[in-house]
Amino acid sequence: MDELEKLVSEAESEIGIAQSTAELVAIETKYLGGKGSVQAQLRAIGTLQKEERPAYGARINSAKERLTDFLESRKADISAREIAVRLEAEKIDVSLPGSPMRRGSRHPLTQTMQRVKQSLIGLGFDCVEGPELEDYQFNFAALNYPEDHPAFDEQMTFYVDSDHLLRTQTTALQGRIMRTQKPPFRIATTGRCFRYEAVDATHHHSFHQVDVFMVDEGVSLADLKGTLKQFASKMFGGDVQVRFRPDFFPFVEPGVDYSIYWNDRWLELGGAGLIHPNILEAHGIDTEKYSGFAFGLGIERIHMIQNGVSDLRLYLENDLRFLAQF
């Protein structure tokens, strides 16, 4: 067997056992490339007799053709097999259920505050925001607290300096409104309050309140009770009864705490009363002509009652197992 035949048979056996397109490309380069060994045979042509040359050249060309055909047919087989393997590996079952994406939702207290605001807007109140960092003046002094009143101990307070504190009650907004607006007005405010409390299932250092007040001619306890009844009906549904019991807050006279009758029981909601004449007069409001009511309550308490939540610390813990329930 001469050298050309040996080369061709070697190449054929390599092509025959190659397993990948990459191997075939390497074999092609090795034998048929510009610097390949079959090509090198052409160079030997110069050593032959002139008359032998055409026949030798034809042999080389036919050997190249044979190898090229064989290579191309193996390439076609192998690449079809490779594509089949890749398709199998990348197969997607479009009928499989997708992985669920958790939807976010509003915090339960945000939801409750929105419902409170909607109910009060429906009753003709304007919703106004007040600052969380409040002047001592508005949180206490303007609300008729005498300097040494025991309420300062009850509402233990985070003071920032001697004039500023984290508001302990949304009632603090009253003075800001009365300073700038003339009656009649109906205002509601919701927001975060802070007290230096020992935290337990019903008390937190951070909680939320809504405060509502109205000043107009001839406002009486009957207006307060009627408004509370309407508000409670909107929030809790049904024809809710309201009960007053005497209570003391320096900024109302008379002062009451109030409960609603709901689901066969009396539930205490917050404090209320007629705005103390001292407060109205301090803002130049004629108490012969105008009077007002005010009430305030805890937002957490509303949500707890409505949803049977027994520990208000849950609202601040941001545990999704709790939050996702609402």
Q: Whats the size of the chain, residue-wise? A: 326
Phi, psi of 144 (to 5 degrees): 70, 20
Structure-token pair, residue 273: 């009363």
Tell me if 232 contacts ligand FA5 by CB under 6 A: no
Query: Should residue 203 be labelled a site residue for ligand FA5 when binding is judged by CB under 6 A?
Result: yes
With beta carbons less than 8 A apart as the criterion, state whether 304 and 326 touch: no
The residue range among 125-133, 175-183, 197-205, 230-238 that interacts with ligand FA5, by the rule CB under 6 A, is 197-205
Count other C-beta atoms under 10 Å from residue 182's C-beta. Answer: 11
Between residues 56 and 207, which has the closer beta carbon with respect to ligand FA5? Answer: 207
Nearer to ligand FA5, 36 or 298 (CB): 298
In the range 152-171, which residues lie near ligand FA5 by CB under 6 A?
Answer: 169, 171
Q: Tokens 């205490």 — which residue?
A: 268
Asked if 271 touches ligand FA5 (CB under 6 A), the answer is yes
What is the DSSP-derived secondary structure letter of residue 118?
Answer: H
- Residue 197 near ligand FA5 by CB under 6 A: yes
Task: Give the binding-site size for ligand FA5 (rule: CB under 6 A).
Answer: 23
Element at 27 (helix H, strand E): helix 21-32
State the nearest-atom distance from the C-beta of 97 to ligand FA5, in Å.
43
At 91, list the tokens.
Answer: 């197969």
**Residue 175 in contact with ligand FA5, rule: CB under 6 A:** no
Q: Binding to ligand FA5 by residue 227, rule CB under 6 A?
A: no
Contact 32, 64 (CB under 8 A): yes
Note whether 125 binds ligand FA5 by CB under 6 A. no
**Sheet with 185-194, edge to edge strand ranges:** 126-127, 185-194, 206-217, 290-298, 265-275, 252-262, 241-246
Site for ligand FA5, rule CB under 6 A: 169, 171, 195, 197, 203-204, 207, 209, 211, 249, 252, 270-273, 294-298, 300-301, 312
